[in-house]
Amino acid sequence: MLTSPQVDLIQTSFATALSTRQTLVLEFYERLFTKAPSVRSMFADDMSAQSGKLAAILQLAVQKLDTLETLVEPLRALGVKHAEYGAITAHYTAVAETLVECLEDAVGPTWTQDHAQAWSDALTFIAQTMLDGAAATSDKTVLTQ
């Protein structure tokens, strides 16, 4: 679980990042596709809709970090969808690393190692919950065949 200071760091850094970088999510995707080119084919050419979806889920997650249990079911469902698109564990790692890099750049000189650790902890929880959802679905598929 995240500590209250970690939640505060994430929430304030996210607000700062959004206020300084209106194109934060689009920049994230540009970097992600450079870092992990294999994921590019999972997305439409026009990233407008996808960027909006990512921004919305990030805002929801950031708002609900103090009640992580409320995120479990939506994240598990999102994991199922991502598995259908072909997402694998390595993709989650690339996403987390890229997002932290983008946030660090957007926040600027006030970014600290504590910010990086808080975001890493939160993104690990998010990724693991999504992967758990995907795994549960694949287990059910195997059991019903």
Residue 145 included in any domain: no
| 145 or 69: which leads in pLDDT | 69
Residue with tokens 């890493």: 120
- What residue numbers bound the domain in which 102 lies? 4-139
Residue 123 included in any domain: yes
> 78 is written with which tokens?
């999102």
- 69: number of CA atoms within 13 Å, CB side? 0
pLDDT in tens, 127-137: 999 999 999 87
Predicted local distance difference test score (pLDDT) of residue 144 = 34
SS3 93: helix
pLDDT in tens, 1-18: 899 999 999 999 999 999
Q: How many domains does the chain have?
A: 1
Residue 95 included in any domain: yes
This prediction's pTM: 0.88
pLDDT in tens, 16-29: 999 988 789 999 99
Predicted local distance difference test score (pLDDT) of residue 20 = 86
**CATH at 33:** 1.10.490.10
Residue 98 included in any domain: yes
Say which residues have a Cβ less than 8 Å from residue 96's Cβ, sequence separation at least 6. 120, 123, 124, 127
Average predicted confidence (pLDDT) for the chain: 90
Kindly report the number of other CB atoms within 10 A of residue 93's CB atom.
14
